[in-house]
Each structure stands twice: as C-alpha cells, then as structure tokens.
Amino acid sequence: MRMAELSRQSGVPRETIHYYLREGLLPEPLRTGRTRATYDERHLERLRLIRRLREERFLPIAVIRSMVQVGLEGGDIDTGALSALARMTPASAGSEPIERDVVELARERGLLGAEFDAAALDGASGRDLLVAVRQAAELDPEARELSLADMAACAPVVARMVREEAAVFFQRALASGRLADTIGALARSRLAVQRYLVSYRSLSMQQVVQQLLDAMQEARQPKVELLPPGGGGTGDACPRAGDAHGWVWRQMMTGREARIRELSPEQCGRLSASTRALVDLIFGGALEVPVLERFALGRLRLAEGELAKALSSSEDGKLERVVNALGAVLSVDPSNDADPARVALASLRRGLLLVRLPESLGLRPRAQADLRNVVAALGAAPGKVEAESALCMEGNARLALAREAAAANQTHAALRILESGVALEDDGPLGAATRALHESLRLTSTQDSWPGG
C-alpha cells in the first residue's frame, strides 16, 4: 500500500509515520523510486501496536524504541513501571483527530515545549493537551484571548515544575534503591497532588485579589510628584508680564507645579487654550474636557483624576471603577505628540504612577517602558528641551528605573542607570535622592564582591 492508504488504515497521520520511520520504530519500506515507497501489513501492525502502547500504557517513544530494538516482548524493560511513571493523569481524548491549525496555533502561542514532536502529540496525553487548546480557540474572542494568554503564562512554569518533580522522584528512587516502590508511591499520591495544585492556584488567586484590594485601600491618592532639581534655574522666576505659557510648562516639567498659583488672572487669561485647561484641571478650576482630550498629556491627567476618585471611593463597584480608570490611563499614547518635552512628561507621569500600583496588576513592564521612553524622547531631540526641564525629567526617570532594578536585586544595573545620567551632580532634592541611592547601591555592590559575600 502507499503512504496515504497506510495512514488511513492505521489512523496515524503521515507526519507521525515519517517520524517513526526516522526513529527506527518501523521497518524500512520497499523503495520503488526516488520519492516512492510501498508498505505492507508489517507496517500496519507495528503502527497499531505503537498506538496501543502509547494510548493504553502511556509509554514514551524512547521506551517503545527500546522495546523494538530488544524485541516486542520487552526483554528486561519494566514496561509496567515505566507506564505507571509516564501516566500522570488519565487521558480523555482517545483517538480523536486534531486539526493541523490547532497544532500551529499551539506552537505559535508558545503552548508546546520544543520536546513535543509530532509523535508525542499523537499520543493520548498530547491529544488531550491539543483538545484543551482547541476548546480555548472555539470560545468567544475575549475568552479565547484570555485563555490562550493564560496557557502561555502557565506553559514555561509547568515545564519547570515537571523538571523539579522529576528530580524529586528520582532522588527518592535513588535513595531507596527500589524504583518500583517509588513509582507505586507516586501513583498513590497523584490524586492528592492534583487536588493540591488546583487548590493552591485558586487560593493564590484569592490572595492576589485581596492584596490588590488592600493596596488600593492604602493608595487612595496616587499623586505623581517629580523631585525638583536645584534652585537658580530658569524655572524659578515668575514672569511679571507677557506670555506665561513657557514658564507654566517649565514648572510642570521641573516638579514645581504649585508655583503656577503665583500667576495672576490676567496672565492665566493669556495662556493657550490647552495650557489653561491643564492648569484648571490641576488646581480644580472649570474642567474643559474637550480641550484636554485633544492631546496626550491632557487625556492622561484626566485619567489620573478619575483613578484618584476611584481609589478614594468607598462605594460598591470600587474595583470596577479602578479598572476602568486604569484602562483609560493605559490607553493614552504619550508618543502621539510633536513636542518631545510633552512626550517625555506624559511618559514620566504615567511611569511614576504605574510603579506605585500593586505588582499583582502586572504593570511593572509598562511602567519601566514609559520611564525608558522619557530618556529616549529627550535623547532623540537634543537641545529642543530646556536644560533644567530635561535634567529633571530624565533624572526622575532614571531614579525610578534604578529603584526598580534595585528592588529586583539588580544592583549593578541600577548603578549603571544612575551613573549614566546627570542628576548625581544636581544640588537639589533630585540630586540628593539620586546620590543617596547611588551610595547605598555602591556599598551593597562592594559587600557582594567581598570573598564569601
């Protein structure tokens, strides 16, 4: 028979048959041409045997290969013990065929380990895994993306867990010298371990939600504050006449927003519509929402205000309000502005806000990306941002990034972040905080380098 007929009668996909041929599990076919071969009953019976060994006894390909090499009766191979070890959970998919696009989706999303070849996926456990992927793919769009993302998060963690489990098992087996007894103990423990894993996951998620609620209770006012640089810069002098537009923006970029109150009503009246709307929002004046929504920083400040209200609320539905407000914060694109100073300021404000929120929200990478974007935006426009403003925004961004690195025990990375900036030389609050962190990290780095440290 030709390959197509062999695949049809055995129920084994062509790709899997080719894999078995390469692995030496099947006899060589009769070659009738460079790309033509024929198969007979020997191949069909061998394929049926391999399927039984995989589906009924859960034997891995390596064991089946050894059985083929020493004789199908198994020789000295303890196939019963190996079957018990391989079969961690009962399979339920049976011989149900799995579509190729499901396999491609699983590989594309990182749901399959590199060791899961076509033959592994053709086994009962492999089909069970792919059935789960297919069930996720058939859900409504929102549930589909959530479940596939959840699976992608689980895959590498489960792979590490299995390696640890294997080490625990073999250490016990080596210590006792009785493999069969250890496998029996493993079999008796499966149900308890499975129940523990499911319960641990559920309990941990409950704890995450509770920690998030507790953290929200504490962070009632996530006010973003920039540490100002030293005095004597252009940001100090309040304009006595004329257009105060540039001065107002310098105060916002150098951590001196409170000084904007020094402007007279006449000077405020000369501000541009967007700047005046921003000043009114900061100090509780008439809210010009349509004007603020025209630029990224305006939308961000509106979302910050909604988040502050949601966090300080004691009404039912607080979590939903917080999530909606955070969604508005995250929807802002700081780079959608032609002015590099405003790009840097919007990125900085959001980065400083996100690093203060509970880690369980998973927003640390977004925060760090925003903070790095501050440095990138200023570096891409040298000389286009007033020096003191650039110093303050970059210095605050680097300080926050260094604190994040230090919290992750990346001392040397934190030192590099601080030393590549200019805030160490500043004589104001920003410089003082930067130098204090730098000195603390330097001492830690020195202690870590001591012999035995």
Residue 84 has pLDDT above 60, yes or no: no
Question: Residue 73's pLDDT is what?
Answer: 47
Residue range 281-336, pLDDT digits in tens? 888 877 889 999 999 999 999 999 888 888 877 777 777 888 898 999 999 999 98
Question: Residue 85's pLDDT is what?
Answer: 52
Residue 92 has pLDDT above 80, yes or no: no
Residue 269 has pLDDT above 60, yes or no: yes
Question: Residue 70's pLDDT is what?
Answer: 60
Q: Which of 88-102, 370-384, 412-426 bottoms out in mean pLDDT, i.e. has the lowest? A: 88-102
Is 344 exposed, middle or buried, given 0-12, 13-18 or 19+ CB atoms closer than 10 A?
Answer: buried
Confidence of residue 143 (pLDDT cuts 50, 70, 90): very high
3-state SS, residue 4: helix
Residue range 396-429, pLDDT digits in tens? 999 999 999 999 999 999 999 999 888 888 899 9
Question: Residue 230's pLDDT is what?
Answer: 86
Question: Residue 232's pLDDT is what?
Answer: 55
Residue 378 has pLDDT above 70, yes or no: yes
d(CA 276, CA 343): 19
Question: Residue 313's pLDDT is what?
Answer: 76
Residues pairing with 30 in the sheet: 38
Asked if 274 and 295 touch (Cβ cutoff 8 Å), the reply is yes
Question: Residue 222's pLDDT is what?
Answer: 61
Residue 440 has pLDDT above 60, yes or no: yes
Confidence of residue 96 (pLDDT cuts 50, 70, 90): low
Question: Residue 170's pLDDT is what?
Answer: 86
- Quick one: what percent of the chain has pLDDT higher than 90? 38
**In the numeric block, which tokens belong to residue 165?**
């489990």
Question: Residue 217's pLDDT is what?
Answer: 64
Question: Residue 356's pLDDT is what?
Answer: 85
Handedness of CA 373, 379, 383, 388 (dihedral sign): positive
Residue 90 has pLDDT above 60, yes or no: no
Q: How much is the mean pLDDT over the chain?
A: 83
Question: Residue 373's pLDDT is what?
Answer: 96
The winner for highest mean pLDDT among 32-46, 49-63, 121-135 is 32-46
- Looking up tokens 């935006």 gives 377
Asked if 135 and 96 touch (Cβ cutoff 8 Å), the reply is no
Summarize the confidence of residues 200-224 as an average pLDDT. 74
Higher pLDDT, 187 or 162: 162
Q: Which residues of 357-386 are buried (b: 16+ CB within 10 A; e: fewer)?
A: bbeebebeebbbebbbbbbbbbeeeeeebb
Residue 74 has pLDDT above 50, yes or no: no
Residue 343 has pLDDT above 80, yes or no: yes
Question: Residue 97's pLDDT is what?
Answer: 64
Question: Residue 75's pLDDT is what?
Answer: 46
Question: Residue 25's pLDDT is what?
Answer: 85
Query: pTM here?
Result: 0.64
For 156, residues 6+ apart whose C-beta sits below 8 A from its C-beta are 110
**In the numeric block, which tokens belong to residue 326?**
């955070």
Higher pLDDT, 286 or 350: 350
Question: Residue 12's pLDDT is what?
Answer: 87
